[in-house]
Amino acid sequence: MPESVQATPLADGSFDGVAATAQGPPLVFTSRTAHGANTGQAWDLATRAVLGPPVPDFPAERAEWTFGLPTGSPTVAWTHRDRVHVQDVRTGRELVLDGQPDLLALAVHGGRGAVVAVFGPANDAEVVVWDALTGERLAEFALWLGHRTAIDRTALHATPATGPLIALTGGASDAVVVDVERGEDVAAVPSTRAAPPPSPHGLVLVQPVESALHVRGLDGDRLAVLTAPAPCDRVATSGTGGTGRLLVAAGLEGDPCTVLAWDAALTGNGMPIAPSHCVKVPAPVNDLALTPDGTLLTATDEGLHATPLRP
């Protein structure tokens, strides 16, 4: 049986979305609604305190903003009124670019931190890559998305581990893995819901199926089966470097106040792995994320929770 855990409160308020850095110190970014306005806010989980001032006029829709650590400095990018804003969270330095993309991601292009914008009202999407510091246009290319447009998809990354790779996924469609340095898709794997974290088997993707999650390599090979009592929807992952373990968290369809977690050793034999934790959250979960130190972040209409899943 999984260990039953009560979610640990971090802050009161109504939170729409949450994202975490994939490496280094546990840094988090949230979107929050208060008094009819939406703001963005960075958090340092080591001190359990906010990091810098809030960002006004921040989007509530998760597809309209992204957060990560492309090349050593935490960066948040978001869209607002036909502009793309890129901010260094630590310094507050902000870059503004023209455009209203359907998807945003972060990547590493030629060793430089980059913002990736996907414009996709049609099946032929346009991808533009900018230097996150200077705004220099590093690349621009077309991308065929099959029978689904970018509007139906989500852009996933786990910078800096994912380097120039991002994954575009949505619904039952295959996830398209794109190399922004090469300007082309390099793999198509079954639909995934979480950013591809590093593992001893390289980058991996997590695919929700009926009453389970399949962990697959970018070559499509199944590395592990994470069992669940019901279908899962929202999924978050965190790699653990050279330990060979992968931390996965997922919400249960039909039970929005429960999050299951798996602390899985990826042996590569595809053996079933049962959940290690069952986290009870006092309100329905709007979004979730995992930090490198194994903390589960859950955003709800009643507050933000930060629950340690590892000692």
pLDDT, tens only, 17-35: 999 999 889 999 999 998 7
The per-residue pLDDT for range 93-129, each reduced to its tens digit, is 999 999 999 899 999 999 999 999 999 766 688 999 9
At residue 169, the pLDDT reads: 83
Stretch 180-207: mean pLDDT, rounded? 81
Could you give the percent of the chain with pLDDT greater than 90? 61
Work out the mean pLDDT of the chain and round it to a whole number.
Answer: 89
Question: In the predicted model, is pLDDT for residue 242 greater than 60?
Answer: no
Q: Are 27 and 44 in contact (CB under 8 A)?
A: yes
Stretch 232-253: mean pLDDT, rounded? 84
CA distance 216 to 173: 16
Q: Where is average pLDDT lowest: 42-56, 113-127, 139-153, 201-215? A: 139-153
CA distance 8 to 18: 15
At residue 58, the pLDDT reads: 96
Print the SS3 string covering 50-82. Answer: EEEEEECCCCCCHHHEEEECCCCCCEEEEECCC
Question: In the predicted model, is pLDDT for residue 76 greater than 80?
Answer: yes
Q: Are 165 and 177 in contact (CB under 8 A)?
A: yes
Question: In the predicted model, is pLDDT for residue 149 greater than 60?
Answer: no
Helix extents (H) in the chain? none
Long-range pairs of 80-87 with CB within 8 A, sequence gap ≥ 24: 84/115, 84/117, 84/130, 86/115, 86/130, 86/132, 86/135, 87/55
At residue 45, the pLDDT reads: 94
Query: Alpha carbon of 93 to those of 106, 191, 216: distances in Å?
Result: 17, 36, 38
The per-residue pLDDT for range 296-306, each reduced to its tens digit, is 999 999 999 99
DSSP of 233-250: EEEEEEE-GGG-EEEEEE
At residue 9, the pLDDT reads: 96
Could you give the percent of the chain with pLDDT greater than 70? 92
Q: How confident is residue 183, by pLDDT bands cut at 50, 70 and 90? A: very high
At residue 121, the pLDDT reads: 62
At residue 244, the pLDDT reads: 67
How many alpha carbons fall within 13 Å on the CB side of residue 229?
A: 12
At residue 241, the pLDDT reads: 53
Question: In the predicted model, is pLDDT for residue 205 greater than 90?
Answer: no
At residue 220, the pLDDT reads: 80
pTM: 0.93
Stretch 255-268: mean pLDDT, rounded? 89
Report the helix count and the strand count for the chain, using DSSP H and E.
0, 29
- 220 or 26, greater pLDDT: 26
At residue 123, the pLDDT reads: 67
At residue 175, the pLDDT reads: 81
CA distance 157 to 309: 22
Q: Sort 256 into a burial class: Cβ within 10 Å, 0-12 / 13-18 / 19+.
A: middle
Q: Are 300 and 15 in contact (CB under 8 A)?
A: yes
- CA 195 to centroid of chain Cα atoms: 5
